[in-house]
Chains A and B, each alone.
Chain A
């Protein structure tokens, strides 16, 4: 029954092919995709670029998760099916409405194998239908897929939170604040693969929300996607285009993986005043780094605990009408900057109703 809830009509598989004339074409799709989505998919496949990226990538547009597996065809081997004779590379794009890169990476690579071996789209369709109906299929030597063997919780924890903390050191507290206060976060990296690896770990800092839907792991700069991004409100968006650095209207905080720097946009500076609470939290994070006995899960749990403490404290600060205002916080003579932080947290957690 669970699979049925997850599957919707928008779940589709599509194939983009780049032929020997460097012409990229949507050659097959089931059941259907709209024009916008097709354009976004095309941007993500990297087929139109000179250098085709063969890494598995995942991204999100509107409410659709996009999983892409690209295969290049080696024409020197003689076992290519007739229909792929003129194709240089193809991308299998899977769109789903939930986050699970591991599952769909596996599915996409099996489908790629099938398509490369047979060149027959109806075979892919069969696989797709089997997944929907039975949650599994087996195509012998080409691979075996079992839907239930991929737990989403494992996907959540796929990247070690400790690695991310280690990567940024003390600046990790800025990232934590941004996530806790629900700010707009932009991650930039030259390499897609490291971008995806880091960005999927960011929601771990606010595990109590269990919300991976704020991720936009891989966004290209074009009107379509930027517009979608802006309409989302808050997000964690990943970019590989360096011109994002100059678009500080799009982020409150910019994480640059290439230079390992975190910068705050000029007009949100006063939102990021750090106090003793942050210091404690940072110490907690850095200490658990050095302690091998503290696992990722334990660290996440610890962060969760701290957050809960904070929230219960906030609960106690509520006014009589059940609201928390900046003025009321300021009147309690909290340390400098703390009132702003608490107010932001209260807003982010919806304590203000």
Chain B
């Protein structure tokens, strides 16, 4: 590692790495990764060509074994090009054991590529996945425990302003006097940052969710946000109460006694839980008492044990007796309790019945009192029964008539009021409808706004990208130069167009000529054929001529074919030539001179070897 770094210090870029230096670098990496595998390699690249090739192919295999995926063989290393070299070095860097990085990082002497190392480290970190603290340790990032960290969070309390502060008494005082600073809130200092992050995230998420809900449902309900929140709270509470009640109902039959089925609301349930916790405290204190007692006993028991003469069985029997006694007591007590409970139930029953009786009698009393009053009045009027009856009847009639009259009057007032109320209500309803439609419009507009905002954001992003591109574009390029160049190009194109037109014209002419010539040829051919056939009937020479004519025709056909083939071959030659050009251009990037040189070396070496072999053979 150090070799490679110190060597590199003289060279500034990868471009300057030649094959010898690359060999050293890679060897250094491989040594760090797995020393055993590179023991048979020399520390510098040998001068001998064949051993060079050997060493390089060995190294190439090693790198492949490590998991390098791109194409790799000795020639990539023997004649290094920038891309491959960079890729290989990065790959090797990533494969270094982590400790090595720490050491080199803390070594600090080699500051040149420290950024690379940081990058590598961070890359490694990204591969780790964060897991909450309650996951078992063994399930976390497999194979990388050195950096695994318990990111635990704790609830932090942050003072705030607002309505809640006014509503809750003493909250402000709590904030100012008692709430510890946030840095003291988590138990471990390491938890501070994650806790704050989580607090922030939860607040943000909550706000967003609420916003979303408000946009979706809230605004349609026609309430203001605070009312809506209250209503929602009420609904949730009701629902919880209901479900608790029903589940209590279901389990009521099974759970014993007073607890079963008696819980009516959440608050009661909570208080019940609280009761339990108090109970458990009691249990705890009892346990404490118990252990104290035990220790007392044990201190007492120690001297007793020293002089104890009683056997194990006796003790056992004693214990058993005590247990029996206690059990009996317990039974008695529970019996008593249940009988008391029964009595209580009975008394409650009786109380209810007595209450009912009381109510009934009250009612009777009322009735009787009234009857008494009426009867008393009747008795006092009994003297002149007929007269009084008449009088009473008259009075009744009179009063009824009065009441009726009044009711008629009242109708006159009542009806318009109700009519007015209803029409007002109608108006209110209409207004509510209108408001609703307006609300809908507002909603639509909101959606539009959101869409527009999104669009604006996108545009902004695009703008920034373009600006970035603009910034990155070379500034020195002069506009006028470009214009000139463009003009020139246009001129060229025009010229070329004229040329193309000319060529096209020529081609057309040629085509025309060819056509006319072909036509005449065909006609002449037919004419000649006819003539010859006509003559052939009389003249044997003409027959001969026909034969020769046919042969000539055949020959010509062949000729045409050959010409066609020549044309296509020429085309092939052209394409191949262009390919060759392309490949030559490509191969030129390789250092062909060096290859030729190396080839020469190899040849001379080979000849030398042959010579030595020959001489050896001769010696033998």
Distance of A211 Cα from B350 Cα, bound (Å): 18
Distance of A266 Cα from B403 Cα, bound (Å): 56
Q: Which of B355, B404, B425 contacts A125 (CB 8 A)?
A: B404
Distance of A183 Cα from B407 Cα, bound (Å): 46
Contact flags B340-367 to A (C-beta < 8 A → 1, else 0):
0010011001111111111110010001
Distance of A232 Cα from B357 Cα, bound (Å): 9
Are B356 and A233 interface neighbours, CB within 8 A? yes
Are A233 and B353 interface neighbours, CB within 8 A? yes
Tell me what chain B mostly uses at the interface: helix, strand, loop, or mixed. helix
Which residues of chain A are within 8 angstroms of B293 by Cβ–Cβ distance? none
Task: Closest A residue to B342 by CB, please name it.
Answer: A270
Distance of A27 Cα from B590 Cα, bound (Å): 105
Distance of A235 Cα from B353 Cα, bound (Å): 9
Task: Closest B residue to A28 by CB, please name it.
Answer: B414
Are B352 and A233 interface neighbours, CB within 8 A? yes
Which residues of chain B are within 8 angstroms of A25 by Cβ–Cβ distance? 418, 421
Which residues of chain B are within 8 angstroms of A347 by Cβ–Cβ distance? 349-350, 353
Task: Closest A residue to B397 by CB, please name it.
Answer: A133
Distance of A120 Cα from B408 Cα, bound (Å): 9
Distance of A243 Cα from B239 Cα, bound (Å): 13
Which residues of chain A are within 8 angstroms of B242 by Cβ–Cβ distance? 243
Are A266 and B425 interface neighbours, CB within 8 A? no
- Which stretch in A72-80, A165-173, A245-253 binds the other chain? A245-253
Which size bracket describes the interface of A in this complex?
A: 35 or more
B514 to chain A, nearest CB (A): 94
Which residues of chain A are within 8 angstroms of B354 by Cβ–Cβ distance? 233
Contact flags A255-278 to B (C-beta < 8 A → 1, else 0):
000000000001110110000000
Which residues of chain A are within 8 angstroms of B422 by Cβ–Cβ distance? 19, 21, 23, 86
A158 near B: Cβ within 8 Å? no
Contact flags B406-428 to A (C-beta < 8 A → 1, else 0):
01101100110011011001100
Using known A-B contacts A21-B426, A122-B407, A347-B350, determine if residue A232 contacts B249 with beta carbons closer than 8 Å: no
Are A121 and B404 interface neighbours, CB within 8 A? no
Which residues of chain B are within 8 angstroms of A245 by Cβ–Cβ distance? 249
Distance of A266 Cα from B250 Cα, bound (Å): 12
Are B356 and A234 interface neighbours, CB within 8 A? yes
B20 to chain A, nearest CB (A): 90
Are B425 and A5 interface neighbours, CB within 8 A? no
Distance of A231 Cα from B360 Cα, bound (Å): 12
A44 near B: Cβ within 8 Å? no
Most buried by A among B253, B363, B418: B418
Distance of A19 Cα from B418 Cα, bound (Å): 11
Using known A-B contacts A232-B359, A233-B356, determine if residue A126 contacts B252 with beta carbons closer than 8 Å: no
Most buried by A among B252, B351, B360, B363: B360
B371 near A: Cβ within 8 Å? yes
Are A129 and B252 interface neighbours, CB within 8 A? no
Q: Which of B349, B367, B396, B407 contacts A344 (CB 8 A)?
A: B349
B353 to chain A, nearest CB (A): 5
Are A8 and B370 interface neighbours, CB within 8 A? yes
Q: Which of A5, A86, A270 contacts B374 (CB 8 A)?
A: A5
A214 near B: Cβ within 8 Å? yes
Q: Which of B349, B360, B404 contacts A213 (CB 8 A)?
A: B360
Task: Closest B residue to A230 by CB, please name it.
Answer: B352
B260 near A: Cβ within 8 Å? yes
Using known A-B contacts A122-B408, A182-B353, determine if residue A63 contacts B370 with beta carbons closer than 8 Å: no
Distance of A129 Cα from B402 Cα, bound (Å): 11
Contact flags A310-348 to B (C-beta < 8 A → 1, else 0):
000000000000000010000000000000000110011
Are A5 and B411 interface neighbours, CB within 8 A? no
Task: Closest A residue to B352 by CB, please name it.
Answer: A233
Distance of A133 Cα from B425 Cα, bound (Å): 39
Distance of A267 Cα from B429 Cα, bound (Å): 52
Are A125 and B356 interface neighbours, CB within 8 A? no
Are B415 and A133 interface neighbours, CB within 8 A? no
Using known A-B contacts A120-B411, A125-B407, determine if residue A232 contacts B261 with beta carbons closer than 8 Å: no
A140 near B: Cβ within 8 Å? no
Are B356 and A232 interface neighbours, CB within 8 A? yes
Q: Which of A83, A121, A235, A268 contacts B407 (CB 8 A)?
A: A121
A4 near B: Cβ within 8 Å? yes
A59 to chain B, nearest CB (A): 17
Contact flags B28-61 to A (C-beta < 8 A → 1, else 0):
0000000000000000000000000000000000
Q: Which of B253, B260, B356 contacts A214 (CB 8 A)?
A: B356
Are A5 and B367 interface neighbours, CB within 8 A? yes
B246 near A: Cβ within 8 Å? yes
B555 near A: Cβ within 8 Å? no
Most buried by B among A235, A246, A344: A246
Which residues of chain B are within 8 angstroms of A133 by Cβ–Cβ distance? 396-397, 400
B262 near A: Cβ within 8 Å? yes
A200 near B: Cβ within 8 Å? no
Which residues of chain A are within 8 angstroms of B419 by Cβ–Cβ distance? 83
Using known A-B contacts A63-B363, A121-B414, determine if residue A234 contacts B352 with beta carbons closer than 8 Å: yes
Using known A-B contacts A211-B360, A232-B356, A267-B345, determine if residue A5 contacts B350 with beta carbons closer than 8 Å: no
A162 near B: Cβ within 8 Å? no
Are B400 and A129 interface neighbours, CB within 8 A? yes
Which residues of chain B are within 8 angstroms of A121 by Cβ–Cβ distance? 407, 411, 414
Are A27 and B429 interface neighbours, CB within 8 A? no
Are B371 and A126 interface neighbours, CB within 8 A? no
Distance of A231 Cα from B359 Cα, bound (Å): 9
Are B370 and A5 interface neighbours, CB within 8 A? yes
Among residues 1 to 44 in chain A, which have CB atoms less than 8 Å away from a CB atom of chain B?
4-5, 8, 19, 21, 23, 25, 27-28, 30
Contact flags B191-214 to A (C-beta < 8 A → 1, else 0):
000000000000000000000000
Among residues 209 to 248 in chain A, which have CB atoms less than 8 Å away from a CB atom of chain B?
211, 213-214, 231-235, 243, 245-246, 248
Which residues of chain B are within 8 angstroms of A125 by Cβ–Cβ distance? 403-404, 407
Distance of A183 Cα from B348 Cα, bound (Å): 11
Are B355 and A233 interface neighbours, CB within 8 A? yes
Task: Closest B residue to A352 by CB, please name it.
Answer: B350
B410 to chain A, nearest CB (A): 8
Distance of A63 Cα from B418 Cα, bound (Å): 31
Are A23 and B425 interface neighbours, CB within 8 A? yes
A96 near B: Cβ within 8 Å? no
Distance of A24 Cα from B426 Cα, bound (Å): 13
Which residues of chain B are within 8 angstroms of A21 by Cβ–Cβ distance? 422, 425-426, 429
Distance of A261 Cα from B248 Cα, bound (Å): 21
Task: Closest B residue to A119 by CB, please name it.
Answer: B415
Task: Closest B residue to A82 by CB, please name it.
Answer: B415
Are A266 and B261 interface neighbours, CB within 8 A? yes
Are B363 and A83 interface neighbours, CB within 8 A? no
Are A122 and B411 interface neighbours, CB within 8 A? yes
Task: Closest A residue to B423 by CB, please name it.
Answer: A86
Distance of A271 Cα from B264 Cα, bound (Å): 24
Which residues of chain B are within 8 angstroms of A182 by Cβ–Cβ distance? 353, 356
Distance of A182 Cα from B357 Cα, bound (Å): 11
Distance of A1 Cα from B271 Cα, bound (Å): 58
Can you sample 18 A-B contacts with CB below 8 Å?
Answer: A5-B370, A19-B422, A21-B422, A25-B421, A30-B407, A83-B415, A83-B419, A97-B367, A125-B407, A129-B403, A211-B360, A233-B359, A246-B246, A249-B262, A266-B253, A268-B345, A271-B345, A326-B346
- Contacts A83-B418, A83-B419 supplied; 18 other A-B pairs, CB < 8 Å: A5-B367, A5-B374, A23-B425, A28-B414, A30-B407, A63-B359, A121-B411, A122-B411, A125-B403, A129-B403, A184-B352, A213-B363, A214-B356, A232-B356, A246-B245, A246-B246, A249-B264, A266-B253
- Chain B residues with CB under 8 Å of chain A are 242, 245-246, 248-249, 252-253, 260-262, 264, 342, 345-346, 349-360, 363, 367, 370-371, 374, 396-397, 400, 403-404, 407-408, 410-411, 414-415, 418-419, 421-422, 425-426, 429
- Chain A residues with CB under 8 Å of chain B are 4-5, 8, 19, 21, 23, 25, 27-28, 30, 63, 83, 86, 97, 120-122, 125-126, 129, 133, 182-184, 211, 213-214, 231-235, 243, 245-246, 248-249, 266-268, 270-271, 326, 343-344, 347-348, 350
Per CB-CB distance, the 4 closest pairs between chain A and chain B, nearest first, are A233-B356, A233-B355, A233-B352, A122-B407
